[in-house]
């Protein structure tokens, strides 16, 4: 009957250690901010959900004008420019007057002809000045229709074989960092580059806002495959490196509290990270401000204060429930007269207390076992009394 009792005591002591470790771990991994802290860090969250996940390859390239959408303006007769109405960067419509040319034919005054835009677009080049002589063989200016452009990616040859017309690419342009464009593969270039081992992949790209210009540098994330029902988060949410990857998850119970949560990641593309373990759909992860949270541990709001306010009763410094045993321990430390407020060490003090308890129980168990063995040996070795001794 004594051994089951000792086992029970030992089990309870070990349970206390595990509970203390859990409280300490929660306190260490939870960042609690006040309203001002949330605003200053500009915290934003998104809900984790299962989505279509794209496997992509990365490539560099440039923006080019479509050759069939570039036009030159020239005069049909020799003469002199007497009026120039456009400058590079201006937008014109089809049929707009762009210049006037005075003919070399005699007259008083000499005949003057008007030059108009052959298409709508952007004036991309002007090679004339007011008063310059002009001949039919020389173009005065160039107009480019940029409502649609080519995005040309330099793709490794072995990857190009996996791409077919219609393949989609997500395109970022260095000059427009806040804009994202999607293009469809139209065709490949006529030859490969021997030195780099790449070939041009030409994507047709709508340019409705007219922001894209020829020769802008571009980054391509070319979609090679797609999987459904994949748990993923934006790349901005993922922190850490190597085998130590984590995200901050919004606490479902406490306001302005965020829990550092280890995750296992799978594939990563230009926008999202596949999470294979550590998160569940409906978790809210921090995107904007996630990096800053790593340095916000010394917040003005402690986990204890947040839990006290949320639950309406007092908690321990490590965020655990304030049991009678913990209260007694805190009272004993406060009565010690050292005046250093050791209760703030919460998790470490509790863990040390439970560890000491376990060692004490193990010591008692050892003494009890040793005493039992000695008693058993004495009973075995005791001599049987003789008849005389019995009388």
pLDDT of residue 15: 47
Domain of residue 317, residue span: 1-30+302-373
Whether 363 maps to a domain, the answer reads yes
Question: pLDDT per residue over 275-315, tens digit each?
Answer: 999 998 889 999 999 888 877 754 445 545 544 544 455 55
Number of C-beta neighbours around residue 335 at 10 A: 8
Identify whether the C-beta of residue 299 lies closer than 8 Å to the C-beta of residue 31: yes
Give the orientation angle of helix 346-381 with respect to helix 324-334, to 10 degrees: 110
Question: pLDDT per residue over 254-280, tens digit each?
Answer: 888 899 999 999 999 888 999 999 998
Question: Are both 72 and 140 inside the same structural domain?
Answer: yes
Identify whether the C-beta of residue 135 lies closer than 8 Å to the C-beta of residue 80: no
Residue 5 reports pLDDT greater than 80: no
Residue 90 reports pLDDT greater than 70: yes
Single out the residue of 192, 278, 272, 191 nearest to residue 236, CA to CA. 272
pLDDT average, residue stretch 353-380: 66
Q: Identify the residue with better confidence: 28 or 200.
A: 200
Q: To which residue do tokens 């464009």 refer?
A: 181
Last residue of a domain, one of 144, 170, 185: 144
Whether 55 maps to a domain, the answer reads no
Please, what is the Cα angle at 264 between 262 and 265, to 5 degrees?
A: 125
Contact partners, residue 11, CB within 8 Å, separation at least 6: none
Whether 269 maps to a domain, the answer reads no
Last residue of a domain, one of 109, 144, 179: 144
pLDDT average, residue stretch 338-350: 47
What number of CA atoms fall less than 13 Å from residue 348's CA on the CB side?
A: 5
Please, what is the Cα angle at 311 between 306 and 317, to 5 degrees?
A: 45
Question: pLDDT per residue over 214-223, tens digit each?
Answer: 999 999 999 9
β-sheet with 91-92: strand ranges across: 70-74, 139-144, 121-126, 91-92
Whether 385 maps to a domain, the answer reads no
Question: Are both 72 and 26 inside the same structural domain?
Answer: no
Residue 339 reports pLDDT greater than 50: no
Residue 96 reports pLDDT greater than 80: yes
Residue 382 reports pLDDT greater than 80: no
Whether 319 maps to a domain, the answer reads yes
- CA–CA gap between residue 306 and residue 31 (Å, rounded): 10
The confidence band for 32, taking pLDDT boundaries of 50, 70 and 90, is: confident
Whether 259 maps to a domain, the answer reads no
Question: How many domains does the structure of the chain reveal?
Answer: 2
Question: Are both 19 and 79 inside the same structural domain?
Answer: no
What number of CA atoms fall less than 13 Å from residue 103's CA on the CB side?
A: 12
Give first-to-last CA distance, the chain, whole Å.
37
pLDDT average, residue stretch 143-153: 96
Question: Are both 72 and 139 inside the same structural domain?
Answer: yes
Q: Identify the residue with better confidence: 11 or 135.
A: 135
pLDDT of residue 252: 81
Report the DSSP beta bridge partners of residue 80.
Answer: 102, 133
CATH number, domain with residue 116: 2.40.50.100
Whether 164 maps to a domain, the answer reads no
Question: pLDDT per residue over 232-251, tens digit each?
Answer: 999 999 999 888 999 999 98
pLDDT of residue 25: 59
Whether 128 maps to a domain, the answer reads yes
- CA–CA gap between residue 292 and residue 223 (Å, rounded): 31
Residue 343 reports pLDDT greater than 90: no
Residue 39 reports pLDDT greater than 80: yes
Single out the residue of 242, 247, 165, 198 nearest to residue 60, CA to CA. 198
Question: pLDDT per residue over 120-132, tens digit each?
Answer: 999 999 999 999 9
Q: Identify the residue with better confidence: 349 or 51.
A: 51
pLDDT of residue 247: 94
Last residue of a domain, one of 113, 144, 175: 144
What number of CA atoms fall less than 13 Å from residue 147's CA on the CB side?
A: 9
* Omega prior to 109 cis, within 30 of 0: yes
- CA–CA gap between residue 188 and residue 4 (Å, rounded): 78
pLDDT of residue 75: 92
Residue 14 reports pLDDT greater than 60: no
């Amino acid at each position: 009957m004594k051994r089951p009792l000792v086992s029970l005591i030992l089990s309870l002591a070990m349970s206390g250690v595990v509970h203390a470790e859990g409280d300490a771990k929660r306190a260490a991994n939870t960042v609690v901010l006040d309203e001002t802290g949330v605003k200053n860090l500009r915290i934003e969250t998104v809900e984790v959900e299962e989505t279509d996940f794209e496997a992509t390859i990365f490539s560099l390239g440039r923006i080019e004008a479509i050759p069939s959408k570039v036009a030159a303006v020239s005069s049909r007769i020799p003469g002199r420019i007497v009026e120039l109405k456009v400058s590079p960067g201006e937008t014109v419509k089809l049929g707009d007057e762009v210049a006037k040319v005075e003919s070399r034919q005699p007259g008083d005054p000499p005949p003057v002809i008007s030059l108009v835009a052959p298409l709508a677009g952007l004036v991309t080049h002007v090679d004339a000045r007011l008063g310059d002589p002009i001949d039919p063989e020389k173009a005065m200016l160039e107009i480019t229709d940029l409502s649609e452009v080519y995005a040309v990616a330099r793709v490794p040859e072995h990857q190009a074989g996996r791409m077919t017309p219609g393949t989609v690419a997500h395109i970022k342009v260095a000059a427009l960092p806040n804009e994202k464009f999607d293009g469809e593969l139209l065709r490949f270039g006529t030859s490969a580059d021997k030195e780099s081992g790449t070939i041009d992949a030409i994507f047709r790209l709508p340019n409705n806002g007219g922001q894209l210009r020829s020769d802008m540098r571009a980054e391509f994330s070319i979609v090679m495959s797609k999987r459904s029902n994949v748990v993923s988060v934006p790349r901005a949410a993922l922190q850490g490196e190597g085998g130590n990857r984590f995200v901050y998850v919004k606490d479902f119970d406490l306001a302005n509290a965020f829990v550092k949560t280890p995750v296992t990641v799978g594939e990563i593309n230009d926008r999202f990270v596949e999470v294979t373990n550590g998160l569940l759909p409906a978790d809210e992860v921090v995107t904007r401000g996630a990096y800053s949270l790593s340095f916000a541990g010394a917040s003005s709001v402690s986990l204890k204060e947040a839990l006290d306010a949320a639950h309406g009763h007092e908690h321990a410094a490590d965020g655990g429930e304030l049991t009678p045993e913990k209260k007694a321990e805190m009272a004993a430390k406060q009565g010690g007269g050292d005046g250093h407020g050791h209760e703030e060490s919460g998790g470490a003090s509790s863990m040390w207390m439970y560890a000491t308890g376990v060692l004490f129980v193990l010591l008692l168990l050892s003494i009890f076992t040793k005493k039992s063995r000695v008693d058993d040996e004495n009973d075995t070795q005791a001599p049987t009394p003789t008849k005389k001794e019995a009388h």
